[in-house]
Amino acid sequence: MYRRAYVTCIGIAAVMGILAFVVSNHYGRPLLDPEGKFLGPSWARLPLLLFGALLLDLLPRTLWYSKLRPSAMSGIVRQRLRTHWNRERVTLVAVGIVSFYITYVSYRNLKSSLPFVRGDVEYDRELMYLDRVLFFGQDPPVVLHAVLGESVSAHFLSYIYLWFLPLVPLALTAWLVWSRNISYGYWFATSQCLAWSLGTLSYYALPTKGPGFEYFSRYTDLTHTPTTDLMNSLAFARADVIHGGVTGIVQSVAGFASLHCAITLLVALMVQFTLRNRVLKIVFWANFSITVVATIYFGWHYLADDVAGIMIAFVSFYLGGLATGQKFDKRSLRSHPTTTTSAIPVEKA
């Protein structure tokens, strides 16, 4: 007997980890934990993340149902641990968090090493011309600046774009901890790992810096937003790593596929297929749509990058579904899992 969900999640993480180690070792780049400086070492952070997921579920529920009466709290905690935090749930949370963490850290390191692996090979010029062809001779960001303006819209799009940073861990935690069907948690974790891995592959297949870095003069009239600060910090970090010989930080400027588009679409698809709340569906489809506009507006990506990110989302979502036993209804945007809430897909060897 083997469990496809385990194999897929752990296998992707293992492959990404090995690739990151090999590339870093071959090119003399230290394997870095990009969040380690302010979140602590991995050996301490991973147990804290697992404990944090448990606390995030138990604490609000206990305080709410106990109505702040200490005598009622222990019973509520014991009941939740018995009915929700069984072995399958704990395994899901552990496998999901650890696999995603390894995949993401490997992605950041492989992305940082890209300029050393591919050298001066970049396709910004070709993708810029493709943008002009698709926009009938116009530059897409210039058109968006003229249509949407360069002040109020810039602030709005900036906050939607940056919302991606907390969205990734929050969405993963939500499906791992609170999905009523265990297979949905594995589905999302597997799809996330696939998306970040395919995104990394796209960077190496068609490396770019992105229009905001290669053709920055087009964006100088935009009002100053938090996105401006982020782009500046990434540009400085890239210069320090490539030209300054700094080895203690990662550089995060790389294309081709837009993982902002990929992950926000992936979340929207998961909401569409696994939840029944109409408001949440509207919110996350809107979030995806606005994010697509923001990637072009600020110059993070070319149009082809967004299309590639969207394709990555669909492929990851579908393969993750197959790996976790989902059956898709051709006539409706719903899935029919082949698992129960207390078991993940099991195949006989």
What are phi and psi for residue 335, nearest 5 degrees? Answer: -115, 160
* DSSP letter, residue 223: P
Record the tokens describing residue 311, joined without a space. 């394709």
| Alpha helices (H) in 163-225, listed in sequence order | 164-178, 182-205, 211-214
What is the average pLDDT score of the chain? Answer: 89
Contact 141, 214 (CB under 8 A): no
Q: Which of 172, 13, 178 is nearest to 98 (CA)?
A: 13
| pLDDT tens string 288-342 | 999 999 999 999 999 999 999 999 999 999 999 999 888 877 666 666 666 554 4
Q: What is the pLDDT of residue 287?
A: 98
In whole angstroms, give the CA distance from residue 307 to residue 134.
12
Instruction: Show pLDDT as tens, one digit a residue, over the chain (349 residues).
Output: 347 878 899 999 999 999 999 999 999 988 988 865 545 565 566 677 788 888 989 999 999 999 989 899 999 999 999 999 998 899 999 999 999 999 999 999 999 999 999 987 899 999 999 999 999 999 999 999 999 999 999 999 999 999 999 999 999 999 999 998 899 999 999 999 999 999 999 999 999 999 999 999 999 999 999 999 999 999 999 999 998 888 888 999 998 999 999 999 999 999 999 998 999 999 999 999 999 999 999 999 999 999 999 999 999 999 999 998 888 776 666 666 665 544 555 444 3
Interval 247-290: pLDDT, tens? 888 999 998 999 999 999 999 999 999 998 999 999 999 999 99
For 342, other C-beta atoms within 10 Å of its C-beta total 11
Can you say how many angstroms the Cα of residue 311 is from the centroid of all Cα atoms in its chain?
A: 14
User: CB neighbours (10 Å) of residue 250?
Assistant: 19
